[in-house]
Structure 1
């Protein structure tokens, strides 16, 4: 593949910027040519591999130019497309420890929000033990029955009702992108075509559930198949940590001021950090509900 083929392939993958997008870049380029810098000697160095990579990078910077103001999130534009970012996130997920927790343990997650507000949860690994969301008790489901907690009627407190276990550790989920996407669509929490709701379903699995590495990777690969996603550089999560972002389209009919949901990944390790309004600061397994690592 020569340079032109590489450029053509890249352009087809990410699309060209509009004349409006390119106007500021063109203006800076023209200004730079008028600075009157002394001419340098014409010494050229050629290296086929490096030249091709550099040329492809330059083309990428142009064809993926998307002003952040259009999306309503922070400053900066993306140098990578959503598929690349999510594929790298999938690769990072595969490096996570594969050791399964004990059924009697709890998944502990601490999430931070702007203003240093936090949320702590303790969810039963197998779904049969009572957990906690903050100070609120979450009933486990044992033998098809779960106790009622926090009922308005004191007589109902502690009585049993029918239930199905909701395990925090999901070893049953698919490990291929296509199968995972089918699973997500079959367990959709929003209206048909609402990709924003689909994004929230993905976040719920990433943040407040624990998956084997193969299922985590499949989850990000499935997300990469969702249309309408865009990538952004220089975004921050809810704790202010910098990273690269993936935006999910706002639902149809939303207010013009509605902001897209943004996944934030560490730019170096590609690990999931949180969203533009939340940050996962601790996620691990503990032996008891209420225990902190």
Structure 2
């Protein structure tokens, strides 16, 4: 979306001044885009009082921070806000706000089946000098400020996630290609403030150290997940689960415990048919929180129950003629391949062939 959206005849609000300020790259894109979502909501409230149209956000991305020239991102319509001195490794001291256990639903039963399948997966441990390779297709909102959502063309993203024990500032590498990709064909570093392995930098070794008791793991997620303004704790934890599924290779016991923990998050619902960016039909798990501006759908293969991709929706709070609401799809992706390689830029043998 275009940051140049000053209203003729009106002074820029404090929020818009923040949006126009110079930016650094201390936060990951998911945090940048999440803060942007919040600022967009504030601008929406300002505009609503003036009878103006509200913008549609771009979808949030996993917790990655690609170091690229600001001019290139401006051309791509990126919008970010910097919060300097953030500590990505320390957990909040507040008591975890774990909600009451969720009742048994189609969603929790499905996640139980997925957990059982994950436990049977044969996964080779990833060494600290290797990289987890993720290849995915993605379509994102390319609409203009104040206009309708327009999904861009599907483009390929490749990531090489570092497994070094830390602290590190380069957590991996990213390369995009295809129409509507940012800086197509260029391999760039994924950077952050110095980080130890954790939710912000989930290495295989760290994932293997997590508790495999679902209740203990859920408590850890509620303790360490940060809640941005406009989200509930439950929604934030559900988002954390989705971010992990999209960007790592997990030990089977950890993956199984994560799915069982997710089944306990209140408000999750089951979708019998959901389609990823590659056009593959699967089972969807979502959570719709009326206090949030967006919601995500996690998609799983109907046969293997493996994670396939996700959808992101802008939540509509207005009822249609059927008495329901029409949420707007503004982002969709599909994980096409995961693997382990020895160097950034290298692809698994199956991909190379």
TM > 0.5: yes
Cα deviation 1:226-274 (Å, max 9, x = unaligned): 11111111211122110111111235053xxx5x311111112221111
**What is the match of residue 75 of structure 1?**
none
Distance (whole Å) between structure 2 residues aligned to residue 163 and residue 262 of structure 1 = 28
Q: Give the corresponding residue for 1:266.
A: 301
Do residues 136 (structure 1) and 196 (structure 2) align? no
What TM-score results when the alignment is normalised by the length of structure 1?
0.59
SS at match of 1:91: helix
CA contact (8 A) 1:195 1:249 kept: no
Say if 1:251 and 1:105 are closer, same or farther in 2 by CA, change over 3 A: farther
Q: Which residue of 2 aligns with 1:174?
A: 211
Check whether the contact 1:108–1:120 (CA below 8 A) recurs between aligned residues.
yes
Q: How many residues align?
A: 190
Per-residue displacement from partner, 1:96-133 (whole Å, max 9, x unpaired)? 12431222110111121233212221111234585312
Is 2:134 the counterpart of 1:109?
Answer: yes
Tell whether the 8 Å contact from 2:286 to 2:298 is kept in structure 1 after alignment.
yes
Equivalent residue number for residue 271 of structure 2:
232
Q: Is the 1:189–1:201 contact (alpha carbons within 8 Å) kept by the matching residues of 2?
A: no
The higher radius of gyration belongs to: 1
What do the CA deviations read for 1:8-43 (whole angstroms, capped 9, x no partner)? xxxxxxxxxxxxxxxxxxxxxxxxxxxxxxxxxxxx
1:83 lines up with 2:108 in the alignment? yes
**Residue 163 to residue 199, structure 1, CA distance change in 2 (3 Å):** closer
Cα distance, 1:195 vs structure 2: 2.7
- Corresponding residue number in structure 2 for 1:222: 261
User: How far apart, CA to CA, are the structure 2 residues paired with 1:137 and 1:211?
Assistant: 23
Q: Take 2:132 and 2:249, find their aligned partners in 1: how far apart are those partners? A: 7
The alignment status of 1:97 with 2:97, answered yes or no, reads: no
The ranges of structure 1 where at least 4 consecutive aligned residues each deviate by more than 6 angstroms after the TM superposition are none
CA change 1:242–1:102 in 2 (3 A) is: same
8 A contact 2:299–2:310 mirrored in 1: yes
CA contact (8 A) 1:196 1:251 kept: no
**CA shift in 2, pair 1:162/1:177, >3 Å:** closer
Calculate the TM-score normalised by the size of structure 2.
0.50
Unmatched tracts of structure 2, length 5 or more:
1-104, 140-152, 176-186, 312-331, 349-353
**Of 213, 217, 222, the match for 2:252:** 213
Q: Does the CA-based 8 Å contact 2:232-2:292 persist in structure 1?
A: no
Question: Would the aligned equivalents of 2:115 and 2:260 in 1 still touch at CA under 8 Å?
Answer: yes
Where does structure 1 lack aligned partners over 5 or more consecutive residues?
Answer: 1-79, 140-147, 149-160
Counterpart Cα distance in 1 of 2:234 and 2:156:
27
Q: Does 1:248 align with 2:303?
A: no
- Per-residue CA deviation, residues 195-224 of structure 1 (Å, 9 max, x unaligned), is 332222001222212221001000000000
Matched residue of 1:110: which SS? strand
Post-superposition offset of 1:85: 0.9
Matches of 2:161 and 2:133, distance apart in 1: 7
Q: Which residue of 2 aligns with 1:121?
A: 159
Cα deviation for residue 291 of structure 1 reads 0.6
Decide whether the 8 Å contact of 2:133 with 2:161 is kept in 1: yes
| Counterpart for residue 288 of structure 1 | 343
Q: Is the 8 A contact 1:230 1:246 kept in 2?
A: yes
- Kindly indicate whether the alpha-carbon contact (under 8 Å) linking 1:233 and 1:245 is maintained by their aligned counterparts in 2: yes
Match of 1:53 in 2: none
More helix by share: 1
